Amino acid sequence: MKRAGILTVSDRSAAGKRDDLSGPMISKMLLNAGWEIVQEKVIPDDMETIKSSLIDWSDSGVVDLILTTGGTGFGRRDCTPEATQAIIERNAPGLVEAMRAASLRITHHAMLSRAAAGIRGNVLIINLPGSPKGAKENLQVIMPALPHAVQLLQDDPASEQGHHQSPTLGHA
């Protein structure tokens, strides 16, 4: 089973001033796609707290995927991409490019996203927007690629089977 962690980054939600709507929505989407949710947490927009959470989860061996939600915009305290970049070992820009390209078809505000994605060890970390609508739209774009990404990170021999698939044409 594919294992995921969902990290909500929001000062207001962490302080109990606003309900976290994005985290539970992401959890539901992943569960419906056959993922197991093994970590969930709401933390403030704080660089060290974000970095520490990402490192702890990545290095624990209990997650294959970490999705963050929040802290990817232009706000003064938005630092999720910087925290992610600080702890990853390799970038995964194609995921962010795909999300941004799809979002630009919906809203011009997509160009304001500073989301990052990358790999630490054998864990994939992806930043999603903080709004439930934005998080859902972005996750829908990348969801089909996530199981294969995890297979590749785990050196699963079955991962080679997915290399010949076209997103629009099926098998080549």
DSSP 87-108: H-SEE-HHHHHHHHHHHHTT-G
Answer yes or no: is pLDDT of 60 > 80: yes
CB 26 within 8 A of CB 8: no
* pLDDT one-digit tens code per residue, 42-58: 999 999 999 999 999 99
Report the top-level CATH class of 2-171: alpha beta
pLDDT, residue 168, reads 60
* pLDDT one-digit tens code per residue, 105-140: 999 999 999 999 999 999 999 999 999 999 999 999
pTM of the predicted structure, to 2 decimals: 0.92
